[in-house]
Amino acid sequence: MIVKICGIQSVEAGLAAAEAGADMIGFVFADSSRQVTAEQAAQIGKKLPSHVKKVGVFVNEPIDSLINIVETAALDYIQLHGDETPVYLSSLNKPVMKAFSVSSEADLKLLTNYACDYYLLDSPAEAYRGGNGRPFDWSLASSESLPREKLFLAGGLHADNVQQAIREVSPAGVDVSSGVETDKQKDPLKIQQFIAAAKKG
């Protein structure tokens, strides 16, 4: 099970995630309470082990700006949470994770329009695209046609429900942000508990 800890804003949080066994960490470059600059992400990334992949989270970012951030922050993956088109994706030169807000089975049919490395299934947008801390109805993702080996699951996950989520959806990976926080700050103990639960069995 691939585990991504998103919304990393400090070296301490990044190292806590890496030491607990995270496979990926996410930097948010879109409007969010967890937003960082490319320079901040670069400084954090330099302190992390090379096997931990660095993912940049973007929402409707102009291509030139996105490419500049990717290079400055030395990102390994690009995660798109906006209204980006398939053509937009085709102009990127890094592996791409495209997020889809899931409120009905119809939302999942959009996946077939996109050629990308991973599809991230997330809760419907509220104040921000993603990172709202609420799960969607996982039964919507029960369709046998979904490419499980490319699915990431996000939205309202935490140590107490991630095993159930994995059983219901059978994703390749899980993505968490608020579910490993205390008072809106990354909590090393919650990170450890989440990763242990996600990778169990």
Q: Give the catalytic positions in this structure.
A: 6, 122
Tally the C-alpha atoms within 13 A of residue 49's C-alpha that lie toward its C-beta.
12
Query: Cα-flanking dihedrals φ and ψ of residue 71, to 5°?
Result: -70, -45
Distance of CA 74 to the CA centre of its chain: 17
Concatenate the DSSP letters of all residues of 138-192 into one string. Answer: GGGGG-TTS-GGGEEE-SS--TTTHHHHHHHH--SEEEESGGGEETTEE-HHHHH
Contact present, 59 and 81 (Cβ < 8 Å) = yes
In 3-state terms the chain splits into helix, strand, coil percentages (rounded to 5) of 35, 20, 40
Written as six digits, the tokens of 191 are 């990170």
Per-residue tokens: 78: 């690009």
